[in-house]
Chains A and B, each alone.
Chain A
Amino acid sequence: MPSDPLVTQHVLEFPGGYTRSTGPVVGRFLSELRARRIVGVRTAEGRVLVPPLEYDPATGEPVTGEYVEVGPAGTVTTWNWVHEPLDGHPLDRPFAWALIKLDGADTALVHAVDPEHVKAMRTGMRVWPVWRDQPTGHITDISHFVPEVTKIVSNVRGEYRIQAGGALRVFLEGIERGVFLGGRCDRCDKVYVPYRAACPECGGVIPDTLELPDTGTITTFAINNLPDPRAPQVPFVSAYILLDGADIPMIALIGDVPAHEVRQGMRVKAVWVPESERTASMANIRWFAPTGEPDVELS
């Protein structure tokens, strides 16, 4: 669309900007700002005006010569939200214009508050100034206000070198070959899987490994509706599976069957990843899947 030659932009700007005499009261306020202090002035009636005025708006009398340091923190007495900042606004992101009653002041100052999110803005909130790097004696020496620090983020990180212990190594090497290795306690006559070197019941040594089949029975299970990185989807079933010949169940995923068709007593068999993908890891077992045999009667 051709532009209309009779529509144009016109800029009205006094070259270099107007000069303005501050007078002694506002001049003191701005000088203090440049030194990163905020002061108010006391009225004849004893109130502290922030920002200071030359004449008390309540009485029309000149203010006293007493300057009082206030803040730097204050309390938001009311505010509104600027969704789309304009040129000349103090911040280039959404922010609040707020009336801030600085500690020790009797009146509120208008300034910008950056709470990061509008949800954090509320009347009564405590805010602190963020100072500009190079103060010049201007209200913008305070860049804006931010909420009081009420929490910090503490990053705790430990890095470990993890080495599978002796018995677990034996078990996982079995898993790499596609077999479950357990062991029988000589004293208790109980078969433990994964293989462990000592019996948790009696402390007896379990000297030998015992190869167990990869079939078993679901003794009980949960249907998990919360996602887990190790499960392909939700819901997923985590089940206690008693391998044939073992005396202790292991917890594993159930697959190839809808979650709500899983039953206590159901017969299952391990589904292994292809031999070429196998490592010494439980990831070798994709999950256990129903065999189709009749359910086992649980006691």
Chain B
Amino acid sequence: MGNRCAVIGVGQTHYTTRRRDVSIAGLVREAALRALEDAGLTFKDIDAVVIGKAPDLFEGVMMPEAYLADALGAAGKPMMRVHTAGSVGGSTALVGASLVQGGVHDRVLVVAFEKQSESNATWALSTHLPFSSSLVVGAGGYFAPHIREYMRRSGAPGHIGTLVAVKDRLNALKNPYAHLKIPGIDQKMVESTPMLWEPIRYLETCPSSDGACAMVLSSESAVTGVPAWVHGTAMRSEPIFRAGRDMVTPQGGKDCAADVYRQAGIADPRRQIDVAETYVPFSWYEPMWLENLGFAAEGEGWKLTESGATALDGDIPWNASGGVLSSNPIGASGLIRFAEAALQVRGMAGEHQVDGARTALGHAYGGGAQFFAMWIVGREKP
């Protein structure tokens, strides 16, 4: 795994539908400055910048990394862009970590963003190329059939998705940065919202958010403040079209989890991990990923959700921050998972802090559930 690497600063913007008051540059800088402030550093202390975002077509700014170098204090420093669709936030953190673990740099600023209000993600994901042999209908239309198949295979009762939709939004009420704040949300409210892509209801989907997230990653000798130590990092991808590909529980996700657990010495994620921040943009992906990530046996994930184990006061809280279901600046969403995992083990998660969290999982996925990025962070040095 190379040299030790720690998260020493986290910065987030308040996620919201429209940040009309700032440019894209202003948005990413806000997150970067907060991360630097958390680390007690300035841009001068940073050796390199890694930036991630979802497809350029989302805002129509091509190669935004070139335009954003000034805003991120990157002039004269290495700066690179990462892109792995929705998992990009996670991959961005991992590329930054690899630069520290590989001994290339001592302090790396990683930033990811999306300003969804400037365009329309569904449009950008459904460009209707000529000669296409496939009917593509946006993210919800893509994932709904796989949720339906999960329900069939597992026999999960229909209300499981609504439990996650309520649980994550209740957690969001404790997170000052969360976008959706729906006081009094309950199962009945979620069930009363229309089906968009059956079996996905409106309140079982993530919002469209503007926002940015940043972290300062550091080598052991350059640590300032409170560190969250990186115990394992892994990325996997798989082709979207492959005969026999299991789209309910993709092999890439299983392999990625096995790799990151091996590095961190985790044999039983349910017992050894204290809190997980996972990429759940549609409520049913919680039970699906509980199985894919080995927190529950195949077909049993929904029982864990139903038992309340994944709630903030459960034995394995998932998405204490409110998750992607409450805030979704797409390119940043993965990085937020990684950053929230770090905040938990640093003991700095505020009102949604999981008591005594020592080991946390950050997880992101993207594309047609074909790109995966994960890390394990801990309070102690690896």
Q: Is B243 an interface residue (CB 8 A)?
A: yes
Q: Are B135 and A230 in contact (CB-based, < 8 A)?
A: yes
Interface string of B105-149 (1 = CB under 8 A from A): 000000000000000000000001111111111101100111011
B62's nearest neighbour on chain A, judged by CB, is A156
Q: Check if A220 is an interface residue, CB within 8 A of chain B.
A: yes
Q: Is the CB of A250 within 8 A of B133?
A: yes
- In the complex, how many angstroms separate the beta carbon of B91 from the nearest chain A beta carbon? 21
In the complex, which of the residues A150, A201, A222, A225 contacts B148, with contact meaning CB atoms closer than 8 Å? A222
Which of B130, B135, B200 lies at the interface centre, i.e. has the most chain A CB atoms within 10 A of its CB? B135
Total interface residues in chain B, CB < 8 Å? 35
Contact A226 B148 (CB under 8 A): no
Is there an interface contact between A191 and B243, defined as CB atoms closer than 8 Å? Answer: yes
Residue of A nearest to B197 (CB): A222
B197-215 toward A: CB 8 Å interface, digit per residue (1/0)? 1111000000000000000
Cβ of B152 and Cβ of A220 under 8 Å apart? yes
> In the complex the two chains form, what is the Cα distance from A172 to B133 in whole Å?
8
The answer to whether the Cβ of A35 comes within 8 Å of any Cβ in the partner chain is no
Q: Does A266 contact B (CB under 8 A)?
A: no
> For the complex, is B194 an interface residue (Cβ under 8 Å from A)?
yes
Kindly state whether residue A145 has any CB partner on chain B within 8 Å. no
| Cα-based distance from A150 to B117 in the complex (angstroms) | 14
- Among B216-274, those with CB < 8 Å from A are 239, 241-245
Contact partners of A252 in chain B: CB under 8 A = 135
Question: Once the chains bind, are B137 and A235 in contact (CB under 8 Å)?
Answer: no
- Given contact pairs A220-B149, A240-B145, A264-B152, A226 touches B197 in the complex (Cβ within 8 A): yes
Contacts of B195 in A (CB 8 A): 223, 225
**What is the distance, in angstroms, from B284's C-beta to the closest C-beta of chain A?**
12
* Complex contact B148–A220 (CB within 8 A): yes
CB contacts under 8 Å to B, within A144-187, are 150-151, 154, 156, 162, 164, 168, 171-172, 185
A222-B145, A225-B197 as given contacts; A192 in contact with B243, CB under 8 Å: yes
Q: Does B60 contact A (CB under 8 A)?
A: yes
**Distance (Å) between the CB of A158 and the closest chain B CB?**
10
Q: Is A190's CB within 8 Å of the partner chain B?
A: yes
| Cβ-defined contact, A162 with B130, below 8 A | yes
Q: Are B196 and A226 in contact (CB under 8 A)?
A: yes
Q: How far is the CB of B171 from chain A (nearest CB, A)?
A: 28
**Residue from A200, A223, A230 in contact with B198 in the complex, judged by beta carbons closer than 8 Å:** A223
Determine the distance from Cα of A162 to Cα of B127 in the docked complex, in whole angstroms: 13
Taking A220-B149, A222-B198 as contacts, is the C-beta distance between A251 and B134 under 8 angstroms?
yes
- Which one of B132, B137, B152 contacts A298 once the chains associate, using CB atoms below 8 Å? B152
Whether a CB of chain B sits under 8 angstroms from the CB of A96 is no
Q: In whole Å, how far is A65's beta carbon from the nearest beta carbon of chain B?
A: 41
Q: How far, in angstroms, from A218 to B101 measured CA to CA in the complex?
A: 47
Q: What's the Cα separation between A164 and B242 when bound, in Å? A: 21
29 contacts between A and B (CB under 8 A): A150-B21, A154-B60, A162-B130, A162-B131, A172-B131, A191-B243, A200-B239, A200-B241, A220-B146, A221-B145, A222-B137, A222-B200, A223-B198, A224-B144, A224-B197, A225-B195, A225-B198, A226-B138, A226-B196, A226-B197, A230-B128, A247-B244, A248-B241, A248-B243, A248-B244, A251-B134, A251-B135, A282-B133, A298-B152
